[in-house]
């Protein structure tokens, strides 16, 4: 019986890791990270080969990709989108601004990183990061679905 349930859990973990649908939120700044993120979806990098679809709807998504500086205004948008996603979910913070506030860190309106508002699982460094490293970050985040299963 436990063998069957293990097998079942294994299938679920594999499915979760093999089909992470993404939603992307740009919190502001220069849009460099956005352009690199969208580049991942083009035929050149083709995120869909890993099963990643740009769902564009937080209710369908498993990964939240955050770019840009989080400020006092858009923190509510970020929180709202995160809350609308159903579990299990992971958050990938892309670029210096989303990781720590970047060069805008000391601005009066900047909170300094997406992790001040929501729990972030993976940080992708760079200003902007290359599409390769964004894909790497997303796939690293996906591995967390498997880990969560084992911990349970």
Partner 1 sequence: MITMSNFLWALTAIILAPAMGALISGIDRKLTAWFQGRVGPPVYQPFLDTIKLLSKEKNIVNSRQMICVLVYLLSSMAAVFLFFLGSDLLLIFFVLTIGAVSFIAGAMSVPSPYSQVGAQRELMQVLTYEPLLLLTFVGFFLITGSFNISYILTWEEPLLFSMPLIYIALGFALTIKLRKSPFDISASHHGHQEIVKGSLTEYSGPQLAMVEIAHWYEIILILGVFALFWSTSVTAMLIFLSITYLAEILIDNLVARSTWRWMIAHVWPVGLGLIIINYILILGM
Residues interacting with partner 1, by CB under 8 A?
11-12, 14-16, 18-19, 21, 43, 46, 48-51, 53-57, 59-60, 62, 86-88
Instruction: State how far the Cα of 65 lies from the Cα of 19, in Å rounded to an integer.
Output: 15
The nearer residue to partner 1, 14 or 73, going by C-beta atoms, is 14
* Exposure letters 98-127 (e unless 16+ CB within 10 A, then b): bbbbbebeeeeebbbbbbebbebbbbbebe
The nearer residue to partner 1, 20 or 113, going by C-beta atoms, is 20
- 92, 129 contact by CB (below 8 A): no
Query: Please, what is the minimum distance in Å from the beta carbon of residue 110 to partner 1?
Result: 29
The nearer residue to partner 1, 21 or 105, going by C-beta atoms, is 21
The nearer residue to partner 1, 8 or 76, going by C-beta atoms, is 8
Query: Please, what is the minimum distance in Å from the beta carbon of residue 70 to partner 1?
Result: 23
- 131, 124 contact by CB (below 8 A): no
Look at the block and give the residue holding tokens 């089909």.
19
- The residues with which 23 forms a beta bridge, in sequence order, are 64
Q: List, in sequence order, the alpha helices (H) in the chain.
A: 2-18, 32-41, 75-84, 95-100, 131-151
Query: Please, what is the minimum distance in Å from the beta carbon of residue 34 to partner 1?
Result: 15
Query: Please, what is the minimum distance in Å from the beta carbon of residue 89 to partner 1?
Result: 9
């Amino acid at each position: 019986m436990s063998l069957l349930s293990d097998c079942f859990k294994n299938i679920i973990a594999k499915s979760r890791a093999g089909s992470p649908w993404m939603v992307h939120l740009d919190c502001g700044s220069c849009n460099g990270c956005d352009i690199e993120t969208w580049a991942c979806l083009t035929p050149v990098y083709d995120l869909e080969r890993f099963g990643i679809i740009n769902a564009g709807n937080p209710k369908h998504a498993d990964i939240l990709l955050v770019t840009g500086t989080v400020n006092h205004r858009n923190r509510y948008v970020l929180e709202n989108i995160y809350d609308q996603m159903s579990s299990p979910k992971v958050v990938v913070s892309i670029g210096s601004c989303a990781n720590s506030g970047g060069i805008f860190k000391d601005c009066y309106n900047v909170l300094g990183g997406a992790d001040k508002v929501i729990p972030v699982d993976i940080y992708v460094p760079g200003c902007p990061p290359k599409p390769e490293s964004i894909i790497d970050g997303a796939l690293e985040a996906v591995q967390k679905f498997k880990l969560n299963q084992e911990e349970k």
